[in-house]
Structure 1
């Protein structure tokens, strides 16, 4: 009886987080990576799927968009049914979808209902280099969705596009990050892993301060889904009630571990294919 009460109590307090993003057929990025990350943090994950991406690490073959009306229906139904404690967005693909996501969230806030912390990963380009975001989407991001954010998490390529600043090192990262924080008036986490230096260094611009988060850079593997995993882990921390800085610190540690303990297979062509390992240590034999 006591064990049954404990199980009911644990179920009652499980935090819920929502990811609004694309589906990745290889499950290394997108909503699949987000759900694995939420589970690793003990969070119950929900999804609103924006598009379906036929891809494997290093190659995108096709992207099929979900209708904006269907995206809105998913979001509205989930808010009606679950006590959502945090939201993250990933690949939204088109301006129409960015606009409908912003509208659904803004309408909730305007009706007097609390809008949970919102982490925006402005996914624009795949790790393999393929363009994932239509040009019309950026204006909708800047005018409609970014103002609702608790945190925006661009990588250096995305930050360069949004800021108009070339980024080649930590100094130019800081310049671009300061410009974005001033431009959008929300916290910015600028991710520096794509600089491929000895350490992967990220800069958090928040409350007029710059906080640095550093981890060793793992060489020799082609990672896929690190940005999705990172932003999902931050959302998970916020859903658990962590401060923004603590949530970022926890997420940085988690994503670094998923890279370090990566999975590896051989393809039929004899080449190596890698994936982040989201499984907790106790799940691995």
Structure 2
């Protein structure tokens, strides 16, 4: 019975993360559009990570792992995540979310490649097909620049870097779950985000008009809280489930939910080539997300 409860718990928490992050991504560009710079949006996001961190710390008696391995993994995970967030806010202020997030959803390709090279893991047929489709999808986002959201290079390069950062982050998250707790990982993620706040603040051009009203920082708090709560449920998904399953589901599912929501909200119909890219990215991400689960079931049956 407890095994069944744990199985349901990781799936419920992972799906909550996908939904919350999907909605967050779809609306993350609103604050910069309302005159609140993306650098300050980052500062707001980092601050919204504090309440969930306090929640998880309280649940473990205000103790977290301070071993060198935990610190190293925690900072790597946190800085890759925070750096990716900073670049993501830059990208969504300059390009369409329905194209940016399908690119980011391909981050499991990076995770799988690193796992194969450094951990000796091998992907199955579904994963291999997913990687091929991902490689076919990426070039389509750079065709016909200016047809959607201006020159694609202004958002495509940052989106590719975010994809790389979050793919690396998921790899370290997989490794870290063998040496430390999910709660400790989350606390270091929060601390790493706060470390970069002075950098984001210094990058802000205060000479330009800034919207300090409710539609600026007020709206940013509401939107970024979705991300923070989703990160908290992700911690519980990692507690009850396996990182090799949870990480691809969150990294692929949430950006795709954002892309679909953005298309519905905006009522935009991309050109044929970009539509093909979105479809290829969708299929690739789904295959990359379910591949670890298929491998896990096969290993269990073999045992």
Q: TM-score with structure 2 length normalisation?
A: 0.28
Larger helix proportion of the pair = 2
Higher relative contact order (CA closer than 8 Å, sequence separation 6+): 2
Larger strand proportion of the pair = 1
Q: TM-score with structure 1 length normalisation?
A: 0.29
